[in-house]
Amino acid sequence: MLNLLEMEQLAAFAECGTLSKAAEKLNVSQPTITRTMQHLEDEFGVPLFQRTKNHIALNETGMRAVEHAQKILKAAEDAVEDVRLFDRSLHTITVSSCAPAPLWHLLPELSDAFPGMTMSSSVKNNAAVLDDLRSGACLLAVLPDHVLSSHISEEDYCCIPFMKENLSVCVPPFHALAEYDDISFAELNGYNFLLGTRLGFWDEMCREKMPASRFLVQTDQFTMEEVIRESSLPCFVTDAVSYDRDIYRDRIVIPITDQEAKIIFHAVFDRNNKKYADVFRRLFRV
């Protein structure tokens, strides 16, 4: 029977052109390669090389054998890779969320519900979350109400509302906006805002609703908080974070009136997933 180590040496020889180079590449002695090539000819039962006294090269048949060797080696590598990933998937709950806040609730609950399993979560925009759900890249998706009806079939997927989040702007008392009791995106459009990163669909929505505004993106949380404290630039908060935190103490929170600022997050998962559908249903108390 063929031998993957020998296949590898054959492929290396094809790549390097001489036995010595191949030996060096694979950190074995050169006679080892000689022997392997002889053995391979035995295995295949046909000549694979053109030999002269001090030269050896693949013949036409040999090249054909090399192609097979490469294919088989790749299959073997892929097999290990795939089996490892599969094993990992058996011990991992993957969640793709359109916003960060739902994960703060969800991940601890999932950890309790699936003791011993790894949680793997990511925050993406709605389209990317939908892709993950459809491709199976995530077991559980978190999506806002307004994308469900248009993009998710109730037949295939179970959608359970489990959390609300309402967006507000947050300004210092002396700011021009501070006098509003509530406000709309239309009225906010044109102001510039501080904005965090990894906000999922919020990022996209803000840019759509306030196209005239500029968003001053802060990638570092500490920097963000310092700038909020020390500047009068408006920023966003939601009721998913505590308003009374230190940094917001001196600011005024103004709810946004648009429907799009009042999000109901849904947990979405494959109805037919035998392993998880029931547990998810129980988890969300339905």
* Residues in touch with DNA (CB under 7 A): 3, 5, 18-21, 27-32, 34-39, 49, 51-56
- Phi, psi angle pair for 124, to nearest 5°: -140, 170
Interaction between residue 83 and a second copy (CB under 8 A): yes
Question: Distance between alpha carbon 28 and the CA centroid of its chain, in Å?
Answer: 40
Q: Is 138 helix (H, G, I), strand (E, B) or coil?
A: coil
Interaction between residue 80 and a second copy (CB under 8 A): yes
Helix ranges (H only) for the chain are: 4-16, 19-26, 30-44, 60-90, 101-113, 126-135, 145-151, 185-188, 201-209, 221-230, 277-283
Distance from C-alpha of 209 to C-alpha of 259, rounded to nearest angstrom: 12
- Smallest gap from Cβ 66 to DNA, in A, equals 15
Residue (52 or 259) nearer to DNA, CB: 52
Residue (73 or 119) nearer to DNA, CB: 73
Task: Say which entry of DNA, a second copy, none residue 80 contacts (CB below 5 to 8 A, set by partner kind).
Answer: a second copy
Residue 63 corresponds to which tokens in the numbers above? 């090249």
Distance from C-alpha of 237 to C-alpha of 192, rounded to nearest angstrom: 15
Residue (79 or 186) nearer to a second copy, CB: 79
What x-and-dash track marks residues 30-59 binding a second copy by CB under 8 A?
Answer: -------------xxxxxx-----------
Kindly tell me which residue out of 35, 55, 84, 214 binds a second copy, with binding defined by CB under 8 A: 84
Q: Tokens 């946004």 appear where?
A: 256
- Smallest gap from Cβ 231 to a second copy, in A, equals 51
Question: Distance between alpha carbon 149 and the CA centroid of its chain, in Å?
Answer: 24
Interaction between residue 82 and a second copy (CB under 8 A): yes
Task: Say which entry of DNA, a second copy, none residue 61 contacts (CB below 5 to 8 A, set by partner kind).
Answer: a second copy
Residue 170 · residue 248 · CB < 8 Å:
yes
Residue 156 · residue 278 · CB < 8 Å:
no
Interaction between residue 75 and a second copy (CB under 8 A): yes
Kindly tell me which residue out of 51, 55, 71, 282 binds a second copy, with binding defined by CB under 8 A: 71
Q: What is the DSSP letter of 214?
A: -
Residue (8 or 270) nearer to a second copy, CB: 8
Restricting to residues 93-122, which ones interact with a second copy according to CB under 8 A? none
Task: Say which entry of a second copy, DNA, none residue 84 contacts (CB below 5 to 8 A, set by partner kind).
Answer: a second copy
Task: Say which entry of DNA, a second copy, none residue 75 contacts (CB below 5 to 8 A, set by partner kind).
Answer: a second copy
- Contact segment (CB under 8 A) with a second copy among 12-20, 73-81, 93-101, 144-152 equals 73-81
Reference 36, options 7, 77, 70; nearest CA is 7
Task: Say which entry of DNA, a second copy, none residue 79 contacts (CB below 5 to 8 A, set by partner kind).
Answer: a second copy
Q: Tokens 């959608």 appear where?
A: 159
- Smallest gap from Cβ 31 to DNA, in A, equals 3
**87 Cβ contact partners less than 8 Å away, ≥ 6 residues apart:** none
Interaction between residue 72 and a second copy (CB under 8 A): yes
Reference 238, options 227, 215, 251, 254; nearest CA is 254
